[in-house]
């Protein structure tokens, strides 16, 4: 079974071909980061227009890489939500029209399900069940993943997502959008312990998070400084911020493992690329004897491969594909609303 996957929920256009027997055959990606950087954040209308420009060339690129023909595609999977409505509509309309022309069914996929299942693309995948820490620009959740479509929310952020906190704090330190990865590079140059920042909700007794106070603490630190901010201050503040957020993410992940009795942790989403988070989790995994899995770096952030994979696993798990043609997107869509048997 050959599945074409299309991702367009935010500022990345991703196209991939996934074969149920041979695995991932090809994936092509265009990131709009450089275009939005000028505005300090994603401009939804520009995002939609750029998806329109990229989707056909990316499809051609992925097909050429895969050595397969469009006519061989058995079903078209695409991100139905959550995300920016205009951006989602581009991928959705393209996927539905293409499937209609090919006389093939479609599989609308939940973006977060794509992230959750993305570690299964790696050479050493986890086995079900596992705990997933989903840390992206829009979401921060701990889940128990029992099987494809069987997800239990264990805890989530009450305000900002982890990636959002990284990006907002980076902005406060004068770094360009999206500052998460840049802040983490800067943190490596900083000295630990120069500034003390709070570890929000660390002792809340549950598995929820809150990061908006941490961002406010960075703002307070910045306001105490003379302008322009010195490079040393920026590095030390970045270090303090990163240590605080990583410590909370690690502590809550350990608590989730303890609470569920599971021995496998999967880290998905853009913040999963963070080196300090990975180092600390690897260290804890050695000491506490659990296994931790990360998607390959290229599959941590948004991509079409995870959507093609999720679509394929859904079909294999018995979810019905739907006839192409009629469609809608779901910009707001809690993951818990999808059932084990289908995405509707
Ligand atoms: O999963 P993703 O591509 O998009 C969403 O679905 O939201 O995640 C993007 C987020 C951004 O907030 C970005 O700043 C953050 O992941 N990010 C990082 C790192 N690389 C990307 N945050 C911390 N450290 C990194 N190395
Ligand atoms: Zn994402």
Q: From the CB of residue 250, how many other CB atoms can be counted at a distance below 10 Å?
A: 18
Q: Across the chain, how many H-helices and E-strands are there? A: 11, 10
Select from 88, 173, 211, 270 the residue to mutate for testing ligand 1; criterion: most ligand atoms less than 8 Å from CB: 270
Cβ < 6 Å from ligand 1: which residues? 10, 136-138, 163, 166-167, 178, 180-181, 184, 269-271, 273-274, 301-302
Helix (H, G, I), strand (E, B) or coil at 26: strand
- In ligand 1, the atom with minimum distance to the C-alpha of 83 is 6
CA distance 240 to 229: 16
| Cβ atoms of 36 and 43 closer than 8 Å | yes
- This prediction's pTM: 0.91
Which of 88, 114, 180 has the most ligand 1 atoms within 8 A of CB, as the residue to mutate? 180
Rounded to 5 degrees, what are φ and ψ at 108? -70, 130
For residue 115, the model assigns a pLDDT of 92
Position 344 scores a pLDDT of 47
| Span 184-231, pLDDT tens digits | 999 999 999 999 999 988 889 999 999 999 999 999 999 999 889 999
The whole-number pLDDT of residue 161 equals 95
Domain with CATH 3.30.420.40 in the chain: 2-116+301-337, 127-294
Residues 54, 31: Cα–Cα separation, whole Å: 10
Number of the ligand 1 atom closest to the C-alpha atom of 180 = 14
Mean pLDDT, each 10-residue run in order, the chain (344 residues): 97 97 98 92 95 98 98 98 97 97 96 93 94 93 95 96 96 92 97 95 93 95 94 98 98 98 95 95 98 90 96 92 85 82 50
* Vertex 156 angle, CA 145 and 240, to 5°: 115
Q: Which residues pair with 30 in a beta bridge?
A: 13
| Highest CATH level, class, for 127-294 | alpha beta
Diameter over CA atoms, the chain: 64
Nearest-angstrom CA–CA distance, 114 and 76: 14
**Nearest atom, ligand 1, residue 162 CA:** 12
**Residue 130's beta-bridge partner residues?**
145
pLDDT score at 298: 87
- Fold classification of 2-116+301-337 is Nucleotidyltransferase; domain 5 (3.30.420)
Ligand 1 atom nearest 139 alpha carbon? 7
pLDDT of residue 337: 83
Spell out the residues 6+ positions from residue 339 whose beta carbon is closer than 8 angstroms to its own: 149
């Amino acid at each position: 079974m050959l599945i074409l996957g299309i991702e367009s929920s935010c500022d990345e256009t991703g196209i991939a071909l996934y074969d149920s027997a041979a695995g991932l055959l090809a994936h092509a990606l265009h990131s709009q980061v450089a275009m939005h950087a000028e505005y300090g954040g994603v401009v939804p209308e520009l995002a939609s227009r750029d998806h329109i420009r990229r989707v056909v060339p990316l499809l051609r690129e992925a097909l050429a890489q895969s050595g397969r023909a469009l006519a061989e595609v058995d079903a078209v999977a695409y991100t139905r939500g959550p995300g920016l409505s205009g951006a989602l509509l581009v991928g959705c309309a393209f996927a539905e029209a293409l499937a209609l022309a090919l006389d093939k069914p479609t599989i609308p996929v939940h973006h977060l399900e794509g992230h959750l299942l993305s570690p299964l693309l790696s050479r050493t995948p986890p086995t079900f069940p596992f705990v997933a820490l989903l840390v992206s620009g829009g979401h921060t959740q701990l889940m128990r993943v029992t099987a494809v479509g069987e997800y239990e929310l264990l805890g989530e952020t009450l305000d900002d997502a982890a990636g959002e906190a990284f990006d907002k704090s980076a902005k406060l330190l004068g770094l360009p959008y999206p500052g998460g990865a840049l802040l983490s590079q800067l943190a490596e140059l900083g000295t630990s312990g120069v500034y003390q920042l709070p570890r929000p909700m660390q002792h809340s007794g549950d598995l929820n998070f809150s990061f908006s106070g941490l961002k406010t603490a960075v703002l307070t630190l910045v306001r105490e400084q003379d302008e322009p901010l010195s490079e040393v201050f920026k590095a030390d503040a970045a270090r303090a911020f990163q240590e605080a957020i990583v410590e909370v993410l690690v502590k809550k992940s350990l608590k989730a493992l303890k609470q569920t009795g599971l021995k496998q942790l999967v880290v998905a989403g853009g913040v999963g690329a963070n080196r300090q988070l990975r180092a600390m989790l690897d260290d804890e995994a050695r000491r506490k004897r659990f296994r931790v899995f990360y998607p390959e770096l290229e599959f941590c952030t948004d991509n079409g491969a995870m959507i093609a994979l999720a679509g394929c696993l859904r079909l294999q798990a018995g979810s019905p594909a739907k006839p192409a043609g009629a469609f809608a997107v779901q910009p707001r869509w809690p993951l818990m609303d999808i059932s084990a048997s289908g995405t509707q």
